[in-house]
């Protein structure tokens, strides 16, 4: 049983997020006039201002805000054994893959059109293929043009770090507050297994010498960004048998140098991609291996666990990709930025976020556990807004939460093939969904039919739509309390 759906329309016919009738009528809580009510208590206000609308730097923000990537900087100064910059596939979602490269002027036209059509848009990033700091002329031209037209968009880059120290001053001048550096090693002997060559100061270097230069430049770039108050996220690709154990050391080094987040991402490796690792049979980690490493890293540099390893031309909320709606052939020749949809959306979201955080604290304060030390792994079907508002059969991913006496934490997501397409349910896809949900105790969704519910049950996974359209943490807190009894749960940030 679930509550009927009320949609807050996305100001252009797009659903922003769906909420229950009760919440829709409530008009918000006492704190709802201010979006900053979602700020974790221990966080510095200046830092919160920088991350509160950034879907990658704040897990909480990713329920509401979207990013777009523009592929304007194709040249690269290093070779990674996991990357083939020539690979292009319109249907594949993974880093570096892109269907069309853009000039800075085309990127501006696209950014304006996306900002006009996607009210959730808050960030424009350059994330390959290629390196934004090395292909600097294109990066700079794009940022200058976009910042002039869309003043309140956040600019963000992803870099391997080799050319970063040369660009920090200009990044600061352009008010770039968020930089991602890929750091896969702090020991050049391990680096030599990941990078066949680098190109630095007009020379090609190989082996340990190349990795030593890369390492030194990465560390100094990170220190320079930290000194200027620019927030850094460190991406590390987890490569089993090469750097998996070593990432514990990497986490320590980047924490000491002020990294804001550490994003340990699984290697994606397939012979069809034509990469060195793909062709040599190097495997990526299994979901449980990644989680085990992430769990060991808890307590070090704060982890990002909600990365979706997006395409280099991704558009939309993390986990959805609307990039195909904004290809060059679909863009109008002339576009004029209209801020109204984004402004209205922000006002709605500020209220909604305040409500959700208040509801979360309320739920966590009231919930009691038996102090049993037990944990509950919950898979949530959501399409944004921090609510359980996606039908089981329509979900393309489930967000995974862990509830335990420590609190309720987001621990990752699992991608699935959509089970129900155009009203037709596919048994084969359901088998895939069930195996992907291995280890999950309960699935929360807006709606589920009897047949998939029974099939999940046969595999030991419960599913319910009884909490449809509720806030995620409210439902999980209530569930946990119902299952395990009566000790208070602490909220996690």
Ligand X SMILES: C[S@@+](CC[C@H](N)C(=O)[O-])C[C@H]1O[C@@H](n2cnc3c(N)ncnc32)[C@H](O)[C@@H]1O
Q: Which residues bind ligand X (CB under 6 A)?
A: 76, 82-83, 95-96, 127-129, 131, 158-160, 182, 235, 237, 265, 267-268
Least Cα distance to 298 among 157, 185, 402, 436 occurs for: 402
Quick one: 312 or 388, whose CB is closer to ligand SF4?
312
Cβ at position 237, least distance to ligand X in Å: 5
Which CB atom, from 73 or from 357, has the smaller least distance to ligand SF4?
73
Q: What does the alpha-carbon distance between residue 487 and residue 479 come to, in Å, rounded to a whole number?
A: 14
* Cα distance between residue 291 and residue 282, in whole Å: 19
218 binds, among ligand X, ligand SF4, none (CB under 5 to 8 A by kind): none
Residues that bind ligand SF4 (CB under 6 A): 56, 67, 76, 78-80, 83, 85, 96, 127-131, 160, 307-310, 318
Nearer to ligand SF4, 217 or 391 (CB): 217
Nearest distance, CB of residue 180 and ligand SF4, angstroms:
6
Burial track 114-130 (b if 16+ CB lie within 10 A, e otherwise): bbbbbbbbbbbbbbbbb
CB of 159 to ligand SF4, least distance (A): 8
Cα dihedral 250, 253, 257, 258, rounded to 10, equals 60
Closer Cβ to ligand X, 2 or 243, answer by number: 243
> What φ, ψ does residue 381 adopt, rounded to 5°?
-95, 115
CB of 78 to ligand X, least distance (A): 8
Three-state SS letters, 346-377: HHHHHHHHHHHHHHHHHHHHHCECCCCCCCEE
What does the alpha-carbon distance between residue 262 and residue 297 come to, in Å, rounded to a whole number? 9
Question: Nearer to ligand X by C-beta: 134 or 480?
Answer: 134
CA angle 146, 9, 415 (to 5 degrees): 75
Burial of 226 (0-12, 13-18, 19+ CB in 10 A): middle
CA distance 362 to 365: 5
From ligand X, ligand SF4, none, interface partner of 101 (C-beta below 5 to 8 A by class): none
Q: How far apart are the first and last CA of the chain?
A: 31
Measured from each CB, the residue nearest to ligand X is 128
- Kindly tell me which of 171 and 268 has the beta carbon lying closer to ligand SF4: 268
Residue 54 touches which of ligand X, ligand SF4, none (Cβ within 5-8 Å per kind): none
Min dist CB 314 to ligand X, Å, is 11
Q: Which of ligand X, ligand SF4, none interacts with 307 (beta carbon under 5 to 8 A by kind)?
A: ligand SF4
CA–CA separation, 133 vs 388, rounded Å?
Answer: 40
Question: CB of 86: closest distance to ligand SF4 in angstroms?
Answer: 11
For ligand X, which is the closer residue by CB, 225 or 433? 225
Tally the C-alpha atoms within 13 A of residue 66's C-alpha that lie toward its C-beta.
28
How many Å apart are CA 476 and CA 492, to the nearest integer?
A: 13
Q: Which does 56 bind (CB under 5 to 8 A by kind): ligand X, ligand SF4, none?
A: ligand SF4
Q: To the nearest whole angstrom, how small is the minimum distance from the Cβ of residue 159 to ligand X?
A: 5
Closest CA to 107 of 154, 161, 144, 61: 144
Nearest residue (CB) to ligand X, 123 versus 127: 127
- CB nearer to ligand X: pick between 16 and 314: 314
Which residues is 303 bridged to in the sheet?
262
For ligand SF4, the closer of residues 318 and 416 by Cβ is 318
Binding site partner of 268, from ligand X, ligand SF4, none, Cβ cut-off 5-8 A by kind: ligand X
- Where helices occur in 72-206 by DSSP H, the ranges are 104-117, 136-149, 168-173, 188-194
Binding partner of residue 308 among ligand X, ligand SF4, none, CB cut-off 5 to 8 Å per kind = ligand SF4
Q: How far is the CB of 238 from ligand SF4 (least distance, A)?
A: 14
Question: Which of ligand SF4, ligand X, none does residue 116 bind (CB under 5 to 8 Å by kind)?
Answer: none
User: What's 78's DSSP letter?
Assistant: E
For residues 156 and 124, what is the distance between their CA atoms, to the nearest angstrom?
6
Separation CA 8–CA 24 (nearest Å): 9
348-351-357 Cα angle (round to 5): 135
- Residue 382 contact partner, candidates ligand X, ligand SF4, none, CB within 5 to 8 A by sort of partner: none
Shorter beta-carbon distance to ligand SF4: residue 271 or 365: 271
Instruction: Provide the minimum distance between the beta carbon of 259 and ligand X in the complex, in angstroms, as a whole number.
Output: 14
Contact by Cβ (8 Å): 43, 56: no
Query: Smallest gap, in angstroms, from Cβ of residue 309 to ligand SF4?
Result: 5
237 binds, among ligand SF4, ligand X, none (CB under 5 to 8 A by kind): ligand X
267 binds, among ligand X, ligand SF4, none (CB under 5 to 8 A by kind): ligand X
Least spacing, CB of residue 175 vs ligand SF4, in Å: 19
């Amino acid at each position: 049983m679930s509550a009927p759906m009320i949609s807050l329309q996305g100001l252009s016919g797009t659903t922003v997020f769906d909420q229950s009738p009760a919440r829709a009528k409530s008009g918000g809580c006492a704190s709802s006039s201010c979006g900053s009510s979602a700020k974790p208590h221990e966080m510095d206000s200046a830092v919160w201002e920088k991350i509160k609308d950034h879907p990658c730097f704040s897990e909480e923000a990713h329920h509401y805000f979207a990013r777009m990537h523009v592929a304007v900087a194709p040249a690269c100064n290093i070779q990674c054994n996991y990357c083939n910059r020539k690979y292009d596939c319109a249907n594949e979602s993974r880093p570096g893959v892109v269907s069309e490269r853009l000039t800075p002027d085309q990127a501006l036209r696209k950014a304006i059109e996306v900002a006009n059509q996607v009210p959730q848009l808050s960030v424009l990033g350059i994330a390959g293929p290629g390196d934004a700091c090395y292909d600097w002329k294109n990066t700079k031209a794009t940022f200058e043009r976009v910042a002039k037209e869309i003043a309140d968009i956040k600019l963000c880059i992803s870099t391997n770090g080799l050319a970063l120290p040369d660009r920090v001053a200009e990044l600061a001048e352009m008010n770039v507050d968020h930089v991602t550096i890929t750091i896969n090693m702090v020991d050049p002997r391990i680096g030599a297994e990941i990078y066949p060559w680098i190109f630095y100061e007009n020379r090609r270097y190989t082996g340990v010498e190349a990795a030593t230069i890369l390492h030194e430049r990465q560390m100094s770039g990170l220190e320079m960004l930290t000194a200027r108050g620019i927030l850094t996220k460190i991406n590390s690709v987890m490569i089993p048998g090469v750097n998996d154990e070593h990432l514990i050391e990497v986490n320590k080094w980047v924490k000491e140098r002020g990294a804001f987040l550490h994003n340990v991402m699984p290697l994606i490796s397939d012979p069809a991609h034509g990469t060195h690792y793909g062709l040599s049979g190097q495997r990526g980690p299994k979901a449980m291996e990644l989680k085990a490493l992430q769990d060991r890293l808890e307590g070090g540099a704060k982890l990002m666990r909600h990365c979706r390893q997006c395409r280099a031309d991704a558009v939309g909320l993390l986990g959805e990709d609307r990039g195909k709606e904004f290809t060059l052939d679909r863009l109008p020749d002339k576009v004029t930025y209209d801020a109204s949809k984004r402004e209205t959306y922000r006002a709605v979201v500020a209220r909604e976020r305040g409500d959700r955080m208040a509801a979360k604290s309320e739920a966590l304060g009231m919930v009691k556990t038996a102090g049993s030390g037990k944990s509950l792994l919950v898979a949530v079907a959501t399409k944004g807004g921090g609510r359980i508002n996606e039908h089981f059969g329509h979900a393309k991913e489930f967000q995974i939460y862990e509830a335990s006496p420590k609190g309720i934490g987001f621990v990752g997501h699992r991608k699935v093939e959509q089970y129900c397409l155009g009203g037709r349910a596919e048994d084969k896809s359901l088998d895939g969904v069930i195996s992907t949900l291995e280890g999950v105790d309960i699935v929360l969704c807006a709606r589920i039919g009897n047949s998939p519910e029974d099939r999940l049950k046969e595999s030991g996974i419960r599913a319910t739509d009884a909490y449809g359209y509720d806030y995620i943490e409210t439902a999980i807190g209530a569930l946990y309390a119902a299952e395990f009894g009566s000790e208070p749960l602490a909220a996690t940030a």
